[in-house]
Structure 1
Amino acid sequence: MATAIRHASLGTSAGLPVTPDTAMRVAAVYACVRLISGAVANLPMDVKRRVDENTREDMSGSDLWSVLRRKPNGWQTPSQFKRMLQAHVLLRGNAYAQIVRSRGRVVALNPLNPDRMDVSQNDALELKYTYQRRDGRRVVMSADEVMHLVGLTLDGITGVSAITYARETIGLSMAQERHGSTTFKNSARPSAVLKHPGQIGPEALANLRASLDAYRSGGDREGQALILEEGMDLSPISMTSEDAQWIESRKFSRTDIAMFFGVPPHMIGDTEKSTSWGSGIEQQSIGFVTYTLEDHLTTWEETANRDLVSADDVFVRFNRKALVRGDIKTRWDAYVKALQWGVYSPDMVLALEDENPRSDGKGGVFYDPPNTSGGKEGRADEPKETPPD
């Protein structure tokens, strides 16, 4: 194993090396990583116990619940911890956290730099984790000491990063960024040929080049006319950025990067295509939750249940109801249906909205489903009809 931090520096046809750090300087990559990591970070993780086949008990206040919901370690909040590890998965393909136990109970999760970790498997199929600390010392840990989140994997041991396979697209985007910066630094003026009827000396040529560079650098000279002396003539010979469809090529790169991360283009600001408007955006957002975000949530849940939970009747699960916290219409439509069909009581709905129970004490009533036989007979809150004379 290398004795220094390993950065996957991958050369590209565009001539620029791509690493997780340089890739984050590309706007589309940063937006995709921020979007997915933020969604995972904002969803709370619940710890529950399976009482029987149909009953689940909330284990809020347990040691593991406190680690996942209150304080994963001595310096991070739960959202910081989850956002960091999810970013590691997206950019490196793996995320690691040291599991700190006391008397068999998980009391802390310390994140580890994935560039300092080396994973190997022996003939007995046991995993060994060798971590290089900041002082250069190597620490060997067993599988039960490490929480290991694995992204897309080809060997079943470590994950592969999207940066590895998207490096050509990201490298092209980086080259386009550099080209655009250089172009606008020179006031977006095209290259040109200056024609002189005679011949000028080296000193005059140097002065001419200096004056042209100062003119092209923009600033106070922006918009002023170029004055040519001694009968010189200027002839542009190169295409502008628009003529070369530079902006259009950047759009293609942005869409390709979003595809690698499984993010709908409109979620990173690419909403120019007509098919992305109206119901198209809604369906793409649903697809993002179903096919991209759910994949990462399942990885977290299964890893936590494997590495952090020792009892067979205890499990960790994300509270996916928080996904609709920003959509009040969808949230309350679901509440109304749950009340109508007797799934929730009013007090349960109030609890989900962080509100106190009803003050009249009638919030614990479960309403009978509509259009069922004898539905109104069991309703204690409705008056019974008086038979006719």
Structure 2
Amino acid sequence: MKWSTRAKMAMKAAVAGWRGQGFDFSSWFGRTFWGIDNSKLANNETIFSVISRLANTVSSLPLKLYHNYDSVINQAADVLINAPNQNMSGFDFINKVEVSRNEHGNGYAVIMRDIRMQVEAIIPIDPTYVTPFLNTDDDTLWYEIRGTGGTYYFHNMNMLHVKHITGSSRWIGLSPIEVLKNTLQYDKAVQEFSLSEMEKKESFKLTYDANVDEGKRKAVINDFRKFYKENGGILFQEPGVTIDEIERKYVASDTFMSERITRSRVANVFNVPVSFLNDTEGQSYSSNEQMMIQFVNMTVLPIIRQYEHEFNRKLLTEKDRKEGYYFKFNLGGLLRGDTTARTAFYQAGIRSGFLEQDEVRRLEDLPPRGGNAAKLWVSGDLYPIDMDPNQRKGGEKQNESKTEE
């Protein structure tokens, strides 16, 4: 690929927003883009449950831009957090990308920039229309997007891409649903078999003795047909006639065990505790707090770190990063624990001098009070941490006794 071609492709991505053409992607996809959803997400309850939980959890986490631990705002942060594009909020944007990541293995969003190369909009893209590829001339990563209005190419710095695991030779993440293909087929087969068995009517076997004549046989058969058609009632068993029910092989517990196996495999692939899929058998958590710690450390943290790295690399400039700017999700809400645990933590923090009372109020969504509440205290019992020890209770007496000695 010649340098002039690469430059044109890069500029095409950069100016797509301010030129107006394609800002709302009207020339990219028509109504057929959304179509009818026949995916596993729409027709499998277990998959819908786990993807909903992951997407809602990630999109509900507070996201802020920080500068050396202080929360700040700039154009990129305002677009990402408040209005990624003209059609959705920040919650909707992250929710859609996370659903795509879990359903297809990849979540894509195009970064639209204005004439000053500042972030103007971020628009999620259907993964089925996107193909990553390497430019053989300089080994840079590009993304090909096939739309109804034509084919578009975006440099990797203009495309947010979050994914499931990949190998060293792949840029496309593995789809968890593809990994679960055999499990879902088995689960569907069991459900269809169970449904067909439950829809079947009871079966019986009529046995006649040798002394039962033809007329009596017809009368018994007619009575039994009426009984079977009415699905119950009174049936008189004639002498010489035996009625035995044919045992059905369907057992409800078989379906229950199959569902448990499916839930366990889905939980393993999506890396969530199986209790999140309403299966509590065999769980050994002593508290909900322990379960949430495992969920946060093993599931949520790797996901949000991937988002944070994408945001920091592609929404912030190199100068911003060197000056200490970074995006960060706040996981504190998932690890707050119950009232007793939070109270003990806050008390220890205040008495040990690493939490201000106003910081505690902010964590509990209460307004700060200022004054002494904005100071660090140490127990003794509780003085401002910068107070002269001589001014503390008993401090003067101790100094006088030392002087006399």
Alignment TM-score > 0.5, same fold: yes
- Please indicate the TM-score interval, normalised by the length of the shorter structure: 0.7 to 0.9
Q: Which has the higher contact order (CA 8 A, sep 6+)?
A: 1
Instruction: Give the aligned partner of residue 70 of structure 1.
Output: 82
Instruction: Give the aligned partner of residue 202 of structure 1.
Output: none
Summarize the alignment of residues 153-192 of structure 1 with structure 2, pairs less than 5 Å apart: 153-154=166-167, 155-186=169-200, 189=201, 192=203
Determine if contact 1:117/1:129 at 8 Å carries over to the other structure.
yes
> 1: CA distance between counterparts of 2:102 and 2:49?
12
Summarize the alignment of residues 199-348 of structure 1 with structure 2, pairs less than 5 Å apart: 224-225=232-233, 233=243, 235-242=245-252, 245-273=254-282, 276-279=283-286, 282-310=289-317, 311-313=320-322, 314-324=325-335, 327-348=338-359
Q: State the SS of the aligned residue for 1:28.
A: helix
Determine if contact 2:144/2:154 at 8 Å carries over to the other structure.
yes
1:91 and 2:109 aligned: no
Q: Partner letter of residue 39 of structure 2?
A: D
Instruction: Give the aligned partner of residue 27 of structure 2.
Output: none
Determine if contact 2:141/2:155 at 8 Å carries over to the other structure.
yes
- Measured at CA, do residues 375 and 95 of structure 1 come closer, stay the same or move farther in structure 2, by a change above 3 Å? closer
Determine if contact 1:127/1:142 at 8 Å carries over to the other structure.
yes
In the alignment, which of 360, 366, 369 is matched to residue 355 of structure 1? 366
Q: Partner letter of residue 111 of structure 1?
A: P
Summarize the alignment of residues 4-43 of structure 1 with structure 2, pairs less than 5 Å apart: 21-43=39-61
In the alignment, which of 356, 365, 371 is matched to residue 375 of structure 2? 365
1:104 and 2:117 aligned: yes
> 2: CA distance between counterparts of 1:240 and 1:97?
48
Comparing both structures, which one devotes a greater share of its residues to helix?
2
The CA deviation string for residues 228-275 of structure 1, in whole angstroms up to 9 with x for no partner, is: 999684541431223x722222212211111111111112110133xx
> 1: CA distance between counterparts of 2:128 and 2:134?
18
1:144 and 2:154 aligned: no
Determine if contact 1:266/1:281 at 8 Å carries over to the other structure.
no
Structure with max Cα Rg? 2
Distance apart, 1:139 and its partner CA: 2.0
> 1: CA distance between counterparts of 2:76 and 2:160?
14
The CA deviation string for residues 104-132 of structure 1, in whole angstroms up to 9 with x for no partner, is: 22122111111111221122222221212
- Measured at CA, do residues 112 and 369 of structure 1 come closer, stay the same or move farther in structure 2, by a change above 3 Å? farther
Determine if contact 1:367/1:379 at 8 Å carries over to the other structure.
no
Q: State the SS of the aligned residue for 1:130.
A: strand
Instruction: Give the aligned partner of residue 20 of structure 2.
Output: none
Identity of aligned residues (%): 20
Summarize the alignment of residues 107-118 of structure 1 with structure 2, pairs less than 5 Å apart: 107-118=120-131
Distance apart, 1:33 and its partner CA: 0.9
> 2: CA distance between counterparts of 1:20 and 1:94?
18
Distance apart, 1:142 and its partner CA: 1.9
Q: State the SS of the aligned residue for 2:373.
A: coil
Determine if contact 1:81/1:111 at 8 Å carries over to the other structure.
yes
- Measured at CA, do residues 210 and 176 of structure 1 come closer, stay the same or move farther in structure 2, by a change above 3 Å? farther
Determine if contact 1:89/1:149 at 8 Å carries over to the other structure.
yes
> 2: CA distance between counterparts of 1:45 and 1:72?
13
> 1: CA distance between counterparts of 2:276 and 2:34?
32
Determine if contact 2:106/2:161 at 8 Å carries over to the other structure.
yes
- Measured at CA, do residues 364 and 162 of structure 1 come closer, stay the same or move farther in structure 2, by a change above 3 Å? same
> 2: CA distance between counterparts of 1:280 and 1:252?
25
Unaligned residue ranges in structure 1 (runs of 5+): 8-18, 51-55, 200-204, 216-220
- Measured at CA, do residues 80 and 236 of structure 1 come closer, stay the same or move farther in structure 2, by a change above 3 Å? same
> 2: CA distance between counterparts of 1:380 and 1:176?
78
Q: TM-score, normalised by structure 2?
A: 0.73
Which deviates further from its counterpart, 343-352 or 292-301?
Answer: 343-352
Determine if contact 1:118/1:131 at 8 Å carries over to the other structure.
yes
- Measured at CA, do residues 41 and 28 of structure 1 come closer, stay the same or move farther in structure 2, by a change above 3 Å? same
> 1: CA distance between counterparts of 2:48 and 2:97?
15
Determine if contact 1:132/1:138 at 8 Å carries over to the other structure.
yes
> 1: CA distance between counterparts of 2:391 and 2:190?
69
- Measured at CA, do residues 363 and 283 of structure 1 come closer, stay the same or move farther in structure 2, by a change above 3 Å? closer
> 2: CA distance between counterparts of 1:210 and 1:85?
59
